């Protein structure tokens, strides 16, 4: 217990940084995921091709490699001055967006085609049909897998500790080097912190799923 009490400030700061990293990365992933899903079902061929390339490339790229591309590749291209936290948000958000795109697209595919045809028959554009008719219904199906992906993103955020982001994953190196605590005890408390975050997210998505459920 003294590992936690003696280093409460460090655990608190790491916990907050992990929550912030998860929140901003999730927001980016959701925005990009929904946008790319719209591209994938778009009537414009160029947008569909872009969506396929985005998903194929990111789903088949290791996350660590994407971190390296963002943290080392962008400065090499002259895009310097980015904080390591925001680079981690970019890497996590873009990576997860490819998976969220497929979850949203699967939800879109569950909506009967006749509803989109009816919307077009009354003069709605593609974007209006998608935003007002299709996506609200697709959300009911997409929420459970999206929730699982956000929880996976939370755990993937530990990779950011290797790229100068002082979140929970970086605590074990700091405490082991500075104080020489038992590494198993440090890992136990870090796991408890991650468990609190993931259980909270699971509860939130379960509540959202129940709110949007269709009565049968």
Look up residue 70 and give its DSSP letter: I
Q: Token pair for residue 172?
A: 């074990």
- The closest of 51, 42, 164, 169 to 100, measured between CA atoms, is 51
What is the reported pTM? Answer: 0.86
Of 170, 168, 175, 173, nearest in space to 191 by CA: 168
Give the H or E element holding residue 152: helix 135-156
Pairwise CA distance, residues 39 & 33, whole Å: 10
C-alpha span between 216 and 212 (Å, rounded) = 12
Q: What's the confidence (pLDDT) of residue 55?
A: 93
pLDDT number for residue 216? 38
For 57, phi and psi rounded to 5 degrees? -65, -50
pLDDT value of residue 130: 82
Query: What pLDDT is attached to residue 139?
Result: 83
CA 183 to CA 125: how far, in whole Å? 58
Q: Provide Rg for the chain, Cα atoms.
A: 20
- Joined together, the tokens standing for residue 32 give 């990009």
Residues of the chain with pLDDT under 50: 215-216
- Give the model's pLDDT for residue 93: 93
């Amino acid at each position: 217990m003294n590992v936690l009490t003696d280093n409460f400030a460090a655990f608190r700061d790491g916990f907050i940084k992990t929550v912030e990293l998860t929140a901003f990365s999730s927001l980016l992933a959701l925005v990009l995921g929904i946008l790319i899903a719209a591209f994938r079902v778009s009537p414009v061929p160029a947008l569909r091709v872009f969506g396929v390339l985005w998903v194929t490339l990111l789903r088949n790229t290791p996350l660590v490699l994407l971190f390296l591309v963002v943290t080392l590749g962008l400065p090499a291209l002259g895009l310097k001055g980015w904080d390591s936290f925001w680079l981690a948000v970019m890497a996590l958000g873009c990576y997860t967006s490819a998976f969220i795109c497929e979850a949203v697209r699967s939800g879109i595919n569950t909506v009967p085609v006749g509803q989109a045809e009816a919307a077009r028959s009354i003069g709605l554009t593609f974007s209006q049909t998608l935003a007002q008719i299709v996506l609200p219904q697709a959300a009911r199906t997409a929420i459970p897998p999206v929730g699982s992906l956000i929880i996976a993103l939370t755990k993937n955020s530990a990779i950011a500790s290797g790229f100068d982001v002082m979140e929970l994953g970086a605590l074990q190196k700091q405490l082991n080097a500075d104080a020489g605590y038992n590494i198993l005890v440090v890992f136990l408390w870090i796991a408890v912190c991650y468990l609190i975050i993931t259980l909270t997210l699971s509860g939130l998505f379960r509540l959202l799923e129940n709110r949007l459920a269709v009565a049968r």
